Amino acid sequence: MSMHSEEPATSGEAGVDYMTDTRPIAAGEAAPGCKKRDPIVVAENVTRSFGGINAVDVEYLEIPRHKITALIGPNGAGKTTLFNLLTGFDTPNTGKWQFEGKSLAGVSPYKVARMGMVRTFQLTKVMGKLTVMENMRLGAANQPGERLSKALFKGMWGGREKQITDEANVLLEKFKLDAKKDDYAASLSGGQRKLLEMARSLMVRPKLVMLDEPMAGVNPALTQSLLDHIKNLKAEGMTVLFVEHDMHMVRHIADWVVVMAEGKVVAEGPPGEVMKNPAVIDAYLGAHHDVDLGDSEGLKELAAELVADEESIVGTENAGIISLDVVAGEAEPDRRGTGRHQAGSPHGRHGSTDTGSTEKDGQ
């Protein structure tokens, strides 16, 4: 079933099943900044500094169309800042970037979304004092000025009223939020709010969906459903780019992984290969070079090593990257990913600045 009542607006190559398409993603060898066979986003020399810190310093990056790309890296690597720059929520100091061949320099976040590139936030931006259905209507409005009035007052949509409501109902049903459509968004759980934000972003029929830590703060009972929704986006022809600290999720659903550290892209490639890459192990784990992150035995070995390491946070309530279930075999990982183990990051090894609980995605 399609997310929408009609066919999605995504372009489709005749006969291509996006879930089983095994054509190579990179145009040549996988390496930082490598060209893709079919890029949807191209960024060149994009930099952003705050004070003396180069938060983002991306020489060249292409995001592959119709694929799920994970953007990973330690705290402070610049992932959210890059999201903000690409979607117009922040302005780079230098550089150019394109979506579907169109330059996005100076384009407002609102227009970027209308062009088909939507995003969600680490901390959701659903409107707590509006109902679930009103939030969905907000997602569909055509002009910034008409957003609230159209969301709140029926009859202001003209001929589109029924279509908007039908589309919202299909999406809410799909995301299992239909029973809650008249409830205030504030009454939803953290995971349900993430689902609502994702459902709302789909009201514009996007081509690229960017998710900033979709699993953070989500109850384990909802994780599978979120994963399935993300895979469905791809099945329907959308491109997904997500930031995530949960390596299980990355290995499970990503077709391609881009690794950032200290503002730069330090590695790119298929998940299995990237997690064996010494630059990635360096960025995340500093001294623990000899471990294969793409292998469950390697992960166990590393977890044991880190538990024995006095400076490590693995095995504490702040553990993130190496989830506790690898160590204990049963405990749930800390999905908020707080205090990730991160030698080599600007925040230092213990991740003392927990950006997961700080609102920093400025509008």
Ligand X SMILES: Nc1ncnc2c1ncn2[C@@H]1O[C@H](COP(=O)(O)OP(=O)(O)OP(=O)(O)O)[C@@H](O)[C@H]1O
Total binding residues toward ligand X, as defined by CB under 6 A: 14
Selected binder of ligand X within 39, 64, 76, 333 (CB under 6 A):
76
Helix (H) or strand (E) holding 95: strand 94-99
Piece in contact with ligand X (CB under 6 A), picked from 77-85, 92-100, 233-241, 250-258: 77-85
Residues numbered 325-354 forming contacts with ligand X, rule: CB under 6 A: 346
d(CA 316, CA 318): 5
- Pairwise CA distance, residues 139 & 142, whole Å: 9
Among 78, 217, 271, 294, binds ligand X (CB under 6 A): 78
- Residue 90 or 255 having the CB closest to ligand X: 90
Q: Are 199 and 174 in contact (CB under 8 A)?
A: yes
8 A C-beta contact, residue 172 and residue 192: no
Instruction: Assess 79 for contact with ligand X (CB under 6 A).
Output: yes
Q: At what angle do helices 220-235 and 190-201 cross, to 10 degrees?
A: 10
- Give ∠ CA 77-332-289 in degrees, rounded to 5: 45
- Of 140 and 258, the one with the shorter C-beta distance to ligand X is 258
Q: How far is the CB of 255 from ligand X (least distance, A)?
A: 21
Q: Supply angle C-alpha 95, 98, 104, rounded to 5.
A: 80
Q: Quick check: 75 binds ligand X (CB under 6 A)?
A: yes
Q: Which stretch in 34-42, 75-83, 196-204, 323-331 sits in contact with ligand X by CB under 6 A?
A: 75-83
Contact 45, 59 (CB under 8 A): yes
Q: How far is the CB of 15 from ligand X (least distance, A)?
A: 38
Tell which positions 159-188 bind ligand X, by CB under 6 A.
Answer: none
Residue 87 interacts with ligand X (CB under 6 A): yes or no: no
| Residue of 3, 18, 57, 80 interacting with ligand X (CB under 6 A) | 80
Burial level of 363, CB count in 10 A (0-12/13-18/19+)?
A: exposed
Residues 345, 346, 351, 357: what is their CA dihedral angle, to the nearest 10 degrees?
-120
The one-letter amino acid code at 90 reads D
Of the candidate residues 55, 141, 230, 280, the single one contacting ligand X (CB under 6 A): 55
Residue with tokens 């959210």: 80
Residue reference for tokens 């993430």: 194
Q: Which of 53, 107, 148, 235 binds ligand X (CB under 6 A)?
A: 53
Give least dist CB 363 to ligand X, A.
Answer: 12
If one asks whether residue 258 binds ligand X (CB under 6 A), the answer comes out as no
Taking CB under 6 A as the rule, does residue 355 contact ligand X?
yes
Interface with ligand X by CB under 6 A: which residues? 50, 53, 55, 73, 75-81, 346, 355, 360
